[in-house]
A and B are shown apart, each in its own frame.
Chain A
Amino acid sequence: MRKLLMTAMLLIAMTSAAQAETIIASVNGLVCAFCATSIEKTFKKQPAVDQVKVDLDTKLVTISTKDGQTIDDKTITSLITDAGYSVTNIKRQK
């Protein structure tokens, strides 16, 4: 029973560590789809990024990372700034 419990805990810990992350950035200046492609292209160059979605209605950029990888807030802000926009908020979901 003890062995079973330990195995289960180990599995949970491993699953958690390998989980992908969804990062949602609120962005100012996001009005032109042609210009916003710069955000998609910039993030797709990042090895940790699996998918990027830009929504002009909500002014949100949603970044999905690959399993077990992440990008810190500073890098996200820097990449969005390089693409020509301003970040107002960053939220994370596992």
Chain B
Amino acid sequence: MRIYALALLLITLLAVAEEAVAKPISYVGGTMVMQENDETGNTLSVDYTVTPNYAVGFFAKQEEGGSKNMLTVGPQLNTLVKRWNLPVGQGNIFNMTGIGESTLDGKTRPSAWTGMLADYETRRIFTSYELRLMDAQNMDSYVRQRARAGVAPYLANYDDLNTFLMLQVDDHPDKDHTIVVTPLVRFFYHTALAEAGYSSDHQAMFNWILQF
């Protein structure tokens, strides 16, 4: 119950929150705070990278849409399944799995979630695909997909402001709008990343990540 209260407080303070805006593993000893606010709800995650292949953290998501207003919180393990470091690009496959509890209409049930994220990026292009499964015992369950493709309008170096123009397509059969398309812009500079967009179902999107 204490973890629930903490999650609620964090979400309230941060005005809401993500899943996998960027890579769910940073560097050994690094902490990453990610927040995503979009048409699916608000997500917050805080991850600490323990080894090059594992990060542990805390995940909280407030689902929105229709009559649903469910809060899910719990610890999460992020695993780098495979990485390809190439001369001009990098490809990754990650798994994100957690267990916790979900609360809907005053009822709390155990819940579990897992997801796979595959991405490939160069300095010019970015592509990713994410599959996410969630189950809250006798309360809610879903399978969702997300694909992203983006291009950098200019090649920025390490100390420059980096920009990507992206298109995000979400498939969530459990919601009123099954397919949602969101054009967005991503900016990042050193350890800070921000994204803003507007979806085809008329919802504003704002995500941010801080790495320290």
Contacts and interface: CB of A to CB of B under 8 A. Distances in A.
B85 A28 contact: yes
Contacts of B191: 34, 37, 41
A33 B90 contact: no
Interface in A55-70: 55-57, 59
Given A28-B86, A56-B123, A38 B188 contact: no
A33 B162 contact: yes
Given A42-B27, A84-B83, A56 B211 contact: no
Interface string B81-109: 00111111110000000000000000000
Interface string B134-173: 0000000000000000000001111110100000000000
Interface residues of B, number: 35
A29 B27 contact: no
Interface stretch (B8-16, B18-26, B57-65, B67-75): B18-26
Contact of A59 (B22, B83, B87, B189): B87
Contacts of B22: 34-35
A90 interface: no
A82 B157 contact: no
A41 B158 contact: no
A49 interface: no
B39 to A, nearest CB: 24
Given A32-B121, A34-B211, A54-B158, A82 B90 contact: no
Interface string B196-212: 00000000000001010
Given A84-B83, A86-B85, A56 B52 contact: no
A36 to B, nearest CB: 6
B83 A42 contact: no
B52 A37 contact: no
Interface of B: 22-23, 25-30, 51-52, 83-90, 121-123, 155-160, 162, 188-191, 193, 209, 211
